[in-house]
Amino acid sequence: MLGRRFFTFALLLAAASGPALAAKAPAKTPPAATDASSPARRQALLQYQKDLVSVAAPQADPIPLMGAALLARPLPDQPDFNSYHTLIDRAAAAQGAGPEISWARLTDCDAKASDCPNADALAKLVQQAPDNAAVWLLKLGQDLRDGKNDDARQDLAKAAAAKVYDDYTGATLKALSTTVTVLPPPTNVVGPLSATNGADVQLTLVFGLAEGQPQPALQATARLCEENADKAGIKTDCLTLGKLLEWGSSPLARSLGLHLREVLADDASQQEDAKRLRRNLVWQVQSFSQLSMRAKGDTAVAQHLLKLARSGGTQMSLVLTALHDYDMPVDAPSDWEPGKAG
């Protein structure tokens, strides 16, 4: 179920007493394939994904190439010219390539050799997006892993001084949703009784593959802030960062920002306000999950969510826009508690 899969971590993060985030590795099999009911259909889904890559790969623009690369990443036995490595390198070299391409390149690495994230891509990101807190939180996680605690402290300060937080999930969704529309799913993929004409298959591919993108070290950031709450400088940076994250691009970032305010703010009214907003965030994520499950049997909903994904907004704006478009409230009812089925 794509909504539950895509937002599981956001839901847990917002509902838990303390944020947590696990690093996500690329899926080893296409997400849509896990929903197939037979070996023949699973094979058809794999072939459809390969065909999408083949059709999109000849393009020269960075975003379609990024979409093709992400579609190729979990596929086994891809020819070199259509491999994730080749396609994401072409996207990075294309005219107009931005930091979203470098972000996708972070996973072009060898995890077995402890070579992740891609060092060149991370260095490029620092140059391309020095005002993006997500970049510094990504680097913070790397520095903490490598025992560079002083560098991690500087990363925190730079994240707090940043102007935006964007983990490029919106750009990822745009790249994938644009690419999957170049070729409609064949009948042996959609199924003869499908009520969505294949839009649900495309939507599952888009949201499922977007889940494999790298995430900043939000859990490590939360731990660093909480363990050093007695140090004025770090506490100030954490509260400043929290304000930025509250307006960040993803539910995960917003949840961490609200959590930092809830546990670090000196004003009790600020703590209560943050707690209320985190509760609403869980409600929003859960409501979007229900909407995305509706899309599996409703062509109009599936197509509309694909259209929102192609708009290029952030993950958070997609969620709120979708809820608004279907007249779903963004504030939780007064008697609702996280964990309840909306």
Rg (CA), the chain: 20
**pLDDT confidence tier of residue 113, bands split at 50, 70 and 90:** low
Q: Which helix (H) or strand (E) holds 141?
A: helix 133-145
As a whole number, mean pLDDT of residues 24-46 equals 59
Summarize the confidence of residues 270-293 as an average pLDDT: 95
> Residue 26: which pLDDT band, with cuts at 50, 70 and 90?
very low
Q: What is the pLDDT of residue 131?
A: 98
* 231 contacts: CB under 8 Å, gap ≥ 6: none
* Lowest pLDDT segment from 48-62, 143-157, 196-210, 286-300: 196-210
- pLDDT tens by residue, 54-72: 999 999 999 999 999 999 9
pLDDT at residue 57, rounded to an integer: 94
Band of pLDDT at residue 191, cut at 50, 70 and 90: low
Helix, coil or strand: residue 60:
coil
pLDDT of amino acid 8? 36
What pLDDT is stored for residue 240 in this prediction?
98
pLDDT at position 76: 87
Please give the distance of CA 254 from its chain centroid, rounded to a whole number: 13
> Can you tell me the mean pLDDT for 244-270?
96
Query: Rounded to whole angstroms, how far apart are CA atoms 102 and 120?
Result: 9
Query: How does the average pLDDT of the chain come out, rounded?
Result: 86
8 A C-beta contact, residue 184 and residue 51: no
Mean pLDDT over 199-208 rounds to 92
For the stretch 63-108, pLDDT in tens is 999 999 999 999 988 999 999 999 999 999 999 999 999 999 999 9
What local confidence, expressed as pLDDT, does residue 193 receive?
A: 52
Q: Given pLDDT bands bounded at 50, 70 and 90, which one contains residue 302?
A: very high
Give the pLDDT score at 24. Answer: 42
Which positions ≥6 away from 260 have C-beta within 8 Å? 222, 225, 238, 239, 241, 242, 245
pLDDT in tens, 123-135: 999 999 999 999 9
DSSP character for 183?
S
So what's the pLDDT on residue 27? Answer: 42
